Structure 1
Amino acid sequence: MEAVPARVRAYVSCVVVGALICLSPLPTVRTPWWAVALLAALYGGCEQAAARWRFAGTFYPVLLAGAFLLPPSAAALVALPGALLSPVEHRPRGLRRIWRAAQLAVAVWAAARVHGALGGRDAVGASDFPYALLPAGAAVLAFCVVLSVLDGGILALAEHVPPRRAWRGLFLRSPAPVAVHGLAGLMMAVLWRSPYGPVAALLVLLPMCVSWWAFAQYHRERAAHQATIRALVQAVDIKDGYTRGHSERVGQASMMIARELGMDEGRVEVLRFAGILHDVGKLGVPTRLLRKDGPLTPEERRVIELHPEYGHEMVRGISFLGEAREAVLHHHERLDGSGYPYGLRGNQIPESARVVAVADAFDAMTSTRCYRRARPVAAALEELERCAGTHFDPRMVTALERALSRHGWHPAVTAEEAARPPLTRPSSVPSPGAHR
């Protein structure tokens, strides 16, 4: 994201202006500055700990406790130091920090406004349960809505995700975890206003920190799985040099099809993994067959056709892949039953495998191989249309066409691919079902 589009910068600028407007009433509001400073320092410390544990997330209890305790403009201020000083992995780091600070400031301000309008501050001060739960719940909901709307805007502008799909997916995933953080924030606020004071309120964070640390451990384990996936794909690329980058491109095309079909972002990610891993079974195929320049004999083709089963054996123990494992096994099945390894027909073929089959064939036809030149995108789509209903699911073909018409096809090209010499002899392009 080094070259940030102008529309994204404009969007971020608008959110920053909104955050400044939220902060503007500060001079006219009676504000307990010591509480603001303590909460801001606490939130900043939590963000630094998150970076140290390499946990991708934000510790919302402190921010929500600020929304329950402070006037809206002061509550918005709590988020700024931690967001502006927290480490950022990807560039442009400055813009990302500013975006996160502005987004959180607006969300906390909205939560504090809703909480105060419903009389939540009085209920917290009087420890009035269960009445304190209603304004706190409404504030948490407002917090989730603002974060989802703002994040959805970034996805729509920077990643070209349709806005409605981006907002729906983000909002559906956020209420449950943020509600838990909101409950902890409410407990902090009640104890803060109780005779026990802020020290007792800080004790609420201890069990939250332990659970957060456990969750960070889970994320590290998941990152280790993903590193294993990358290593497997790199091994395939090294073994079959002329298809280098193919797996990543199939993952990209699978993701485009999945999004066009309206799948939620969690499933989109799984299908991206399916596309990336679909040919991992080639590690079990002799290298001489993968790099053979001429046509394969029937016996050689039977050996290569074992690669989906090899691949399934390799990935079946990676539990988070879910339906991606079925796609690895069945991505060479065909609707008319002419595919392999089991000759499945129609809806017997898992949907994930039908997505990857189209993505795989499309990239195979639009990439240069040792035995033939690449086809133009339009010619590849015509071939997919011709084979729709026999080899490929027409829904998946149509989804790919729509996605390409909207976003185009801009696959990443590795340095090795760019440096290859052009082919010196023309060659006919085989059927999309015949690629290796």
Structure 2
Amino acid sequence: MEAVPARVRVYVACAALSALLCLLPLPDIRTPWWAVALLAGLYAGCEHVVRKRLGGTFYPVLLAGAFLLPAPAAAFVPLPGALFSHVEQRPRALRRVWRAAELALAVWGAGSVHRMLGGRGAVVGCDFPYALVPCAAAVLAFCAVLALLDGGILAVAERVAVRRAWRGLFSRSLAPIGVHGLAGLMMAVLWRSPYGPVAALLVLLPMCVSWWVFAQYHREQAAHQATIRALVQAVDIKDGYTRGHSERVGQASVMIARELGMDEERVEVLRFAGILHDVGKLGVPTRLLRKDGPLTPEERRIIELHPEYGHEMVRGISFLGEARAAILHHHERIDGSGYPYGLAGGQIPESARVVAVADAFDAMTSTRSYSRARPVGAAVEELRRCAGRQFDTAAVDALVRALHKEGWHPAVTADVCPPLSDRPGSDRESVARGAP
């Protein structure tokens, strides 16, 4: 607990106190406690299985509670499951309290909205399609509360800028929680039908299918990340003195992409592009990457083949999307003097223009065997000087705006190698031949 900043403990305590306030009216409300206990037990069991296997949360039972019970009673449903859930990271107690508080608040918000719109009567009377209206509003409230609280804890704990902390949280949660909301509505309708709660449990069958689909999705995402890590580690091993450069270029590419207004899916693709931009070095002889001395023209031509090597290596990886074009063209220049194809201006894919700026920025602000790191301000001035000739002006301006808002705090620092007289074939080629 000592390692947790005080501001985080205060934030969690405030959330927990708010959740308790939501439960205060509970003793004065006529509540079918057997229903609360059944839903809480069902949620706790499902939460144990889903969280342990997938790291997710079982929302349908919570939303069914919001549709069936008064808001304070519904807010009680997630508490046993969250407080006794499987948690791997420390501090476990604080994480359990936080999870219980945010779920209780989200369910309370969803239940309150649902009841205000007459949703309980619509569920009892099976009044379709009107029953979908309060259900949809409750799901929106549920998503909004979770996004608000999750963004807040991110801003407080990680000191992430408020704008970044909340960006995309609400929109990304709508689709999956919307599906869970429909499953919760099915449970609520069957629960209130003549067949009773036993029939509502039949909804668990399609839920099991959704679990499996969700698990497949997570496995696919994990495989994507493992592929990226393996490729980056291979490049680091081959050209180890630039270790960390790929991750920093990915970070800078994300900053530029977001400032350009790209959606989160494209931002993630640009992150992949930045991380993998130099993967083609795996096809370059190690002796050239580590050569102590200037390159011959023939050796430089071999080095300049690495974007094409990289493109060939990743062309079959479908999830990379336009990142493959960035890997191929990140050494092209706006004035047409770059390589491998000498593209100019708008012929260069936008993703490649973004990565080119990120690559040059990190090369200038990192210590290399042939040069000391420049201050961020000096690197920015050099990028501005070359904008319109070597670099895309919009990408440079976007990086400048992002640096002004967020600063430059790279997550990984490149290793500093023993001084060498000259070390071509590394990231300095992104600023070679007259580049900054």
Scaled by the length of structure 2, the TM-score of the pair is 0.91
The answer as to whether partners of 2:147 and 2:170 remain within 8 angstroms in 1 is yes
The aligned amino acid for 1:283 is L
Tell me the residue number matched to 2:97.
98
Separation in 1, partners of 2:329, 2:201: 53
Separation in 1, partners of 2:93, 2:388: 50
Which aligned pairs between 1:12-91 and structure 2 lie closer than 5 A?
12-53=12-53, 55-91=54-90
Helix, strand or coil: the match of 1:417? coil
Tell me the residue number matched to 1:192.
191
Shift, 1:267, TM fit: 2.2
Tell me the residue number matched to 1:410.
409
The aligned amino acid for 1:434 is A
Q: What is the root-mean-square deviation of aligned Cα atoms in Å?
A: 2.7
Deviates more, 1:20-29 or 1:372-381: 372-381
Change (3 A) 1:6 1:213: same
Separation in 1, partners of 2:274, 2:158: 19
Scaled by the length of structure 1, the TM-score of the pair is 0.91
Separation in 2, partners of 1:296, 1:218: 46
The aligned amino acid for 2:102 is Q
Task: Tell me whether 1:263 sits opposite 2:262 in the alignment.
Answer: yes
Task: Give the ranges of 4+ consecutive aligned residues of structure 1 lying more than 6 Å apart after TM superposition.
Answer: 424-427
Shift, 1:290, TM fit: 0.8
Shift, 1:325, TM fit: 1.4
Structure 1 unaligned regions, length at least 5? none
Shift, 1:164, TM fit: 5.1
1:433 maps to which of 428, 431, 434: 431
1:81-134 CA distance string (max 9 Å, x none): 222333345444443332222111111101111111222212222223333222
The aligned amino acid for 1:145 is A
Tell me the residue number matched to 1:310.
309
Tell me the residue number matched to 2:11.
11
Helix, strand or coil: the match of 2:208? helix
Which aligned pairs between 1:270-289 and structure 2 lie closer than 5 A?
270-289=269-288
Which aligned pairs between 1:133-212 and structure 2 lie closer than 5 A?
133-158=132-157, 163=162, 167=166, 169-212=168-211
Change (3 A) 1:430 1:332: closer
Identity fraction in percent: 78
Separation in 1, partners of 2:159, 2:258: 10
The answer as to whether partners of 1:365 and 1:432 remain within 8 angstroms in 2 is no
Separation in 1, partners of 2:55, 2:349: 32
1:26-82 CA distance string (max 9 Å, x none): 2211222222122112112222222343x2432211010000111111101111222
1:205-253 CA distance string (max 9 Å, x none): 2112212212211211221121121011011001002111111111111
The answer as to whether partners of 1:229 and 1:277 remain within 8 angstroms in 2 is yes
Separation in 2, partners of 1:185, 1:241: 52
Deviates more, 1:146-155 or 1:135-144: 146-155
Helix, strand or coil: the match of 2:251? helix
Tell me the residue number matched to 1:129.
128
Tell me the residue number matched to 1:229.
228
Deviates more, 1:89-98 or 1:231-240: 89-98
**Higher RCO (CA-CA < 8 Å; seq separation 6+):** 2
Aligned residue pair count: 432
